[in-house]
Structure 1
Amino acid sequence: MKFSIIIPTYNDWERLLKCLKALEKQTLAKGRYEVIVVDNSKTGKVPDRISLPDWVQFVHEPEPGSYSARNKGADKAIGEVLAFTDSDCVPDKHWLAKAEARFDTSTCDLLGGKVKIFQNEEGNKYGFLYERVTAFPQHKNVPKGKGVTANLFIKKSVFDTVGGFRSTLKSGGDWEFTLRCTQKGYEMIYCEEVLVWHPARTLPAILKKQKRMACGGAADIKERYGHSYLRILGSHLIHVPNYKRENMPEELSRSEKIIIYAIDTLKYFYRIVLFSGMMFRFIDPNRVRE
């Protein structure tokens, strides 16, 4: 078997079904891949209203954290290559076939594909505008050794050798893992045609993600380097949002650029609040889960 697709989920059943429907339509032959869904809830039970396809392998990982869930899925996998995506993602129908072609014609050990943003029914135009410009710039990050698990492939032998994801991390574990792999000499490439669609977040969801990233990152920095929350806050303060950010497409209107800058500024001050809350112990970063 070529691929083992691993999907962690945490009470996200409706979007998971859309992801599975997309996987059922893959142009790669069914016998070439398996699908492993890892439930990261406390109960490990599928709700009565949800019916998973019989070709899906369902496992439970009670330890909180999507990286623990991904490691559990990898333990169960029998494919030559692990294919990671998320329950809110919709893989293109050629996702696996395109990935197989690249693995067959290159010497790469890891592959990061394109993550394209779409606006769903629950989204809003401001969240879509912002994330369409800022979210998941795989084409820039993968060559630097940083890939996201929304669309990441890795040979299982390499995954096992490197040791999997750091399960203690609540956010940023995908970058930490891929950097660890590339620093050990394993090759990671970016592949534009290996495509996954990701829904644009609403503004509250964007801030919720910032909380996960800020708290998870601060906890990791404090554990690994011993830095105080005051020092972490100070490091953040110097990174003031830039209205003329380089990754803004030229075709954006001035008003659209202002909206993006406004959201950047909101995130900047929200992270100040979060770091201050951690510093004064109003927020426990270890209780914020991915």
Structure 2
Amino acid sequence: MILLSVIVPAYNNENDISIILDAFSKQTLDADQVEYIIVNNNSKDNTKGVVNEYAKNLPITVRCVDENNIQSSYAARNAGIRAAQGNILLFTDSDCVPEPEWAARMLDAFDRPEIGIVGGAIQASHGDSLVERFSSEANVLSQEHSLKNPYLPFFQTANVAYRREAFQKAGLFRSRLKTGGDADMCWRVQKSTDFELRYCAEAKVLHRHRTTLAGLNEQFSRYGRSSVYLNRLYGTEIQPEPRTQYFIRKGVSWAFLHLPITLAKRLAGQATNIDLFREPLRLYIRWCRKTGISSAETAGLPKELDIEYLG
């Protein structure tokens, strides 16, 4: 009997979707109790074909469904929810690698009917690039940050599970949102139901951080847009970023004061590349977030944010 449905949105993942499928095949949860649903979100490559072919040789139930109408990970998750058989719906992302006990521990965490949402830990996988190591040090995507949100705690969809009943009562993800839907969904459940949240630190996924500056830009500008969307929806505070002059002043200070000292230490083996570039990378992600805020304030909320309900 299927108790748990694992749902993963996928877009143009033909080259790496096998990584998470392999991780699913190593889960300790009884294979008869879980299904794995990959949602092909209008991929331009052969993601769907790769999933279907690769799954033939795995000892687990893998299904690939399509969401080709709306290009959004939240729309893809909704398609997965509608296709799911389990009463517990567990989400992760295609760039994550769950540990073997992950699914079992997330399912076990729903040990009381009052528990409606369970979040697991998101840890960095080991990466070699400077950008990956910086993101790991900065605890990017850490659930601990989102749990401390001053409005209401929330879990990121890289590692979160909901009872099916939560979607029946609070509605599905807003399909047209491109960012901020993690918080929006979690907050709607808290505001419209009596369900409780639980954090299960033992249920871990490893997240592959962005490897390039362009990837960091996309990620943190999205965070900036998210803060504006949530402000428009809930009245939450937008943490402002400094004026442009601040970034110029800090950049010049780093180049003429910090860089020469740290470079000398690096040549002497007393500092790392992260020590060398930590400050400009911190400035860079703040600048990216600033541009995201600016673009969202100009464009406003996406249209058609009506909430659909699961029957």
Task: Place the TM-score, normalised by the shorter chain, in its bin.
Answer: 0.7 to 0.9
Aligned residue identity for 2:27:
Q
Equivalents in 2 of 1:213, 1:140: separation in Å?
Answer: 13
2:147 is matched with: 142
User: What SS does structure 1 have at the residue aligned with 2:7?
Assistant: strand
From 183, 195, 201, give the equivalent of 1:192. Answer: 201
Contact 2:190 2:196 in 1 (8 A): yes
Equivalents in 1 of 2:168, 2:144: separation in Å?
Answer: 26
2:75 aligned with 1:72: no
Mind listing any 5+ residue stretches in structure 1 that lack a counterpart? 227-231, 243-252
**Alpha-carbon spacing, 1:124–1:38, altered in 2? closer, same or farther (3 Å):** same
From 126, 151, 157, give the equivalent of 1:119. Answer: 126
From 59, 65, 79, give the equivalent of 1:59. Answer: 65
1:4-153 equivalent positions in 2, closer than 5 A: 4-41=5-42, 46=47, 51-54=53-56, 55-62=61-68, 63-104=70-111, 107-120=114-127, 124-142=129-147, 144-153=152-161
User: What SS does structure 2 have at the residue aligned with 1:69?
Assistant: helix
Aligned-residue offset at 1:271: 3.7
Aligned-residue offset at 1:47: 6.2
Aligned-residue offset at 1:210: 1.9
Equivalents in 1 of 2:301, 2:276: separation in Å?
Answer: 31
Equivalents in 2 of 1:18, 1:165: separation in Å?
Answer: 26
Aligned-residue offset at 1:217: 4.6
Contact 1:7 1:70 in 2 (8 A): yes
User: What SS does structure 1 have at the residue aligned with 2:111?
Assistant: helix
Aligned-residue offset at 1:9: 0.4
Equivalents in 2 of 1:276, 1:80: separation in Å?
Answer: 40
**Alpha-carbon spacing, 1:146–1:49, altered in 2? closer, same or farther (3 Å):** closer
Deviation digits for residues 98-156 of structure 1, max 9, x if unmatched? 12222236741110000110134xx5134323334331221343365210111001111
Contact 1:61 1:69 in 2 (8 A): yes
Contact 1:80 1:156 in 2 (8 A): yes
**Alpha-carbon spacing, 1:4–1:44, altered in 2? closer, same or farther (3 Å):** farther
1:178 is matched with: 186
**Higher alpha-carbon deviation: 205-214 or 146-155:** 205-214
Contact 1:128 1:201 in 2 (8 A): no
Aligned residue identity for 2:288:
Y
2:220 is matched with: 210
User: What SS does structure 2 have at the residue aligned with 1:148?
Assistant: coil
The CA RMSD measured in Å over matched residues stands at 3.4
Aligned residue identity for 2:133:
F
Aligned residue identity for 1:208:
E
2:286 is matched with: 268
Aligned residue identity for 1:267:
I
1:250 is matched with: none
Task: Give the greater-gyration-radius structure (CA).
Answer: 2
**Alpha-carbon spacing, 1:15–1:285, altered in 2? closer, same or farther (3 Å):** farther
Using the size of structure 2 for normalisation, the TM-score is 0.73
- Identity across matched positions, percent: 27
**Alpha-carbon spacing, 1:179–1:107, altered in 2? closer, same or farther (3 Å):** same
User: What SS does structure 1 have at the residue aligned with 2:27?
Assistant: coil
Equivalents in 2 of 1:94, 1:156: separation in Å?
Answer: 22
User: What SS does structure 2 have at the residue aligned with 1:212?
Assistant: helix
Using the size of structure 1 for normalisation, the TM-score is 0.78
